Structure 1
Amino acid sequence: MRDMKQRVDKVIILWTANTEMFLTPEINALDDLMARIDGNQALPASVLYCVAAIEEQCIYLNGSPQNTFHPAIVEYARQKQSLIAGSDFKSGQTRFKTIMSDFLIGSGLRLASCVSYNHLGNNDGKNLSEDKCFQSKKISKAGVLDDAMAGNTVLYPAGQNTIDHEVVIKYVPFVGDSKRAMDEYSTQIFMGGTNTISSYNQCEDSLLATPLMYDMVVLGELFSRMTINGERLGPVLSYLSFFFKAPITNHEEYIVNSFSRQRDTLTNLLKVASGIMPDDTTLLSFQF
């Protein structure tokens, strides 16, 4: 990274490696993290690369689902005035899930069960066939419905704010990169009735993810040059949440997974930065 910085204007690290095993080392503060590094103790490779990127003030974008961004990492990025964003590319099944949950819950239907099954035969699928690696992916996918529930306390009051949410991934070598995804959404409707919507999707997984890589690198570079009231964005570039399954933010209490809210937030920021009025969905000028 240090050598590359001498040869180009800016270095951006985009982590696209295989899903790592879910690891929860005993790290309570930044000092603990640095002690583990100095003592050559076990840490995921993504954490070591992330720390190196922060040291060199290179933007670090985490496209994989493992738990790289411990609070100590975020604190270190803040101290070094470095920029990070993640985690886990959101391109196909999970993006569709955020759209469907928006639609169902926004329509006043209580989403009670969401079951996702998919199989693929590329290296990602092979890696996820290991239980310890799959745990990272399962956790990454599991949280995408949380803010949809939190935003509707009528359908999800305290004590009833859960959805039966299951995720299954199987490795089938024959299908290669052609991922097959099946989802079932069951909702509670009027007078105790139920409604179930099932979907089937077949796509080239890598071809869905590749354009996102270009987008997040271009936008990450742009955001690194932006300031609001004289202050830089960050250390977490949360405006890139649109591209991630498990977004991290500068404020843990405000994490948004909703497709429409993430997209509106991103496009409105870009409009404001370009001197264009952001969208006004009240339409009061039309008295509509």
Structure 2
Amino acid sequence: MILRFAFLSILFCMMNLNVCCVFVSAASVQEFFPFLGEVISEKVNIRAGQSVNFEMLCFVNNGDKLVVIERDYSWYKVMLPESADNFISTKYVELIEPDFGEIVGDQVNIRSKSDTASSIIGQLVRGDKVMILSEGEGFYKIYPHKKSYGWIADKYIKFKSRDISSYKRNLSDEKERELLLKKQEEERIAEELKSIVTIVGTVKTQENVELDSLVFMLIADDSSVYYIKGFNEVLGDFVNKKVRVQGKVDKNAEAIVSHPIVNALKFQLEL
């Protein structure tokens, strides 16, 4: 009886130990997404879905890095690498530059081939940008977008890092930043050009000794008066003559002097 009790006690403890081990094991494989994964085999297929029956999109090799988005049983959803093909209908793209466009539709499908019967591997929305590689009949082939995805068997991926910022592959992002900086510079120049005025009027000398740096005035054809800043060494030859002056109006100076000041950039005699 004692032996039987001892045997049952040992058995009970072993069962509890197994439960604990299972619990610890399950907790140890808990995953957090997204993460950076590394391929651990050669010529591993990335497919359009979570099965070998789905279309093969591209393959990756040992050491390649992939951004893993989520898991579905034994398959990982990954951001497609540069070796994958992306196609999008030309009717939903407005060209910004010959090789760069903006999506002008909602829920626009990215496809694996230039064919509406091919696999849908992602969707874009209005305002998304795409890098165009080539154009075919009704489709653009685009650089693989960060919103295009495929599936890979989990046994071919090992965890590399939680930090996915080191995964640099999206040229369309770089192009978009480049165009944004270009646009900002163009807007700055346009704003600067807007501040440049052209005034036609007669050059006069001003007699306020307190404004010794502002020797000349311009009486415009509409009778408005401006002080002219710059070209003092030559404007004396144009007193009482009509000239065309281009420059920037210093609006802040109006609080100090009675008339606006034009910082002259260019002038010419009006014949």
TM-score (norm 1): 0.18
Task: Tell me which protein shows more strand as a share of its residues.
Answer: 2
State which structure, 1 or 2, has the greater radius of gyration over its C-alpha atoms. 2
TM-score (norm 2): 0.19
Greater relative contact order, per chain length (Cα 8 Å cut-off, separation 6+): 1
Task: Tell me which protein shows more helix as a share of its residues.
Answer: 1
